[in-house]
Structure 1
Amino acid sequence: MYVICGIDEAGKGSVLGPMVVAGVSAHDMDEVALTGVADSKTISRKRRESLYSEITEKFVTATAIISAEEIDRLRAEISMNDIVARAHAEVICKLPCATAFVDACDVNAERYGRTVSRYAGGNYSIVSEHKADVRFPVVSAASVVAKVTRDRCIESLHEEFGNFGSGYPSDSVTIRFLETYIAESGHPPACARSSWETTRRIMSRLSQASLFDF
């Protein structure tokens, strides 16, 4: 019987590409720890891929992929924290578990747990903590699944749009791609989050530059 699950996401702050939420169900923490799993941000891509295969073979997993377009649509209605909490709850409901460990996306971890519980229908015990992906192996496993799944999504988008880097605002390749695309087409690419401040700032700057051309 699967008793616990861990939930984490990748791509929450990216300006290009989707956010991926992943969950992993297990009997207990110890069996997940035996995989040697760690927070996906601290291990190499090759190691993540290897762990991904092991995790998906040994445990029940589930994912939710929220596109840039859907994030823009939802942000007109609810906060980003609520979008993440709703996606966390969606994945929890796909998994066999009684207790869900989630990486809190709110400065108030307890409040975030209540939000996830509300979206999940109150049918689960929610343990919401900051840095849960470091503290709990089952959340570390979910972190790996989320990151690998998002990496594969980004690779597919690169085939469609060209190499735009990681998709994060801190990536100079991403910013150059976004600036060039908007300058040439007059609008952001379909893989961009138009509601993001990064996109709005580039649009505004290029729009003002165009006015000065006249």
Structure 2
Amino acid sequence: MICGVDEAGKGAVFGPMVVGVVGCEAEEDLPAGVRDSKALTPKRREALYAEITGSFPWRVVEIPAAEIDRLRQEMTMNDLVVRAHAEAVRSLGAGQAFLDACDVDEERYRSKVAALVGDGCEVVARHHGDALFPVVSAASIVAKVTRDRALEDLRVEYGAIGSGYPSDKVTIAYLKDYIAGHGTAPIFARTSWETVARLFDRRRQTSLGDF
């Protein structure tokens, strides 16, 4: 069996990072139309997610915001992703794993994951792996749909939080207003992110200006 691994939400300031892994005997067995999740409409992603999870081995490794903050005290974000990718690969026990490389150096990324996976599995890491390998595309769909559902649960509970990414004006407006009103970040925010630190700095400067 081969497997593909990809993650969603690595750079988000809200919500979990989700790593998806999908296994198959041959990529030709995967559903027609499998491609990088970012190139698919939400409706098509959901349909393919149902096909993939209903017919192939799969798992997700979900790392909540608070856990990301804790782990970043011990390691870089790239090393955190390495560990999560390796955990995903081990969970399926495939003989060959294809990864979307989360490092400017593909070989460095490959070797780090391979060291944690151990013997018995050949690891291949490539930039834009979700566009190169259908099995990685399948994993990207599983990861993206899982994270989208997690964000939707947060919206139901907390309101208009946006996509959760720092580039999203809705997300930043929500974060700014929440910090202004509560003096702390929401529980689902990654407080180790520079985005959050900058908003707290601005709040402190504003408060000092009141004196």
TM range (shorter): over 0.9
Name the SS for the 1:77 alignment partner: coil
Partner of 2:58: 61
Cα distance between partner residues in 2 of 1:115 and 1:171: 32
> Is 1:139 aligned with 2:136?
yes
Instruction: Give the partner amino acid of 2:63.
Output: I
Q: 1:178 aligns with which of 141, 161, 175?
A: 175
Moved over 6 A (4+): none
Contact 1:5 1:100 in 2 (8 A): yes
Give the equivalent residue in structure 2 for 1:210.
207
Q: Deviations over 1:132-186 (max 9, x none)?
A: 0000000000000000000000011112221201000010000000000000001
In structure 2, give the amino acid aligned to 1:200.
A
What is the match of residue 27 of structure 1? 25
**Segment of structure 1 superposing worse, 154-163 or 127-136:** 154-163
The corresponding residue for 1:118 is 115
Q: Equivalences for 1:31-110 in 2 at 5 Å?
A: 31-32=29-30, 34-110=31-107
Match status 1:13 vs 2:11: yes
CA distance in 1, matches of 2:57, 2:145: 16
Identity %: 54
- Quote the offset at 1:187 in angstroms: 0.8
Cα shift at 1:207: 1.2
Q: TM-score, normalised by structure 2?
A: 0.98
SS of corresponding position for 1:154: helix
Please provide the CA RMSD for this pair.
0.9
Query: 1:5 offset after TM fit, Å?
Result: 0.1
Q: Which amino acid in 1 is paired with 2:16?
A: P
- The match for 2:152 is 155
1:122 Cα offset (Å): 3.8
Letter in 2 for 1:19: M
Gaps of 5+ in 2: none
TM, length-normalised to structure 1? 0.96
Separation (CA, whole Å) in 1 of partners of 2:116 and 2:175: 34
Task: Kindly provide the CA deviation profile for residues 79-135 of structure 1, in whole angstroms up to 9, marking residues without a partner as x.
Answer: 100100100011111113100000000000110011111222344210000000000
In structure 1, runs of 5+ residues without a counterpart are none
Q: Tell me: CA distance 1:53–1:159, structure 2 relative to 1, closer, same or farther (3 Å).
A: same
Shift in Å at residue 35 of structure 1?
2.4
Distance in 2 of aligned mates of 1:211 and 1:123:
59
Deviations 1:4-40 (A, max 9, x none): 00000000000001000000000011112x4210100
For 2:163, what is the secondary structure of its paired residue? coil
Distance 1:25 1:63 in 2: 12
Distance 1:174 1:121 in 2: 39
What is the total number of aligned residue pairs between the two structures?
Answer: 211
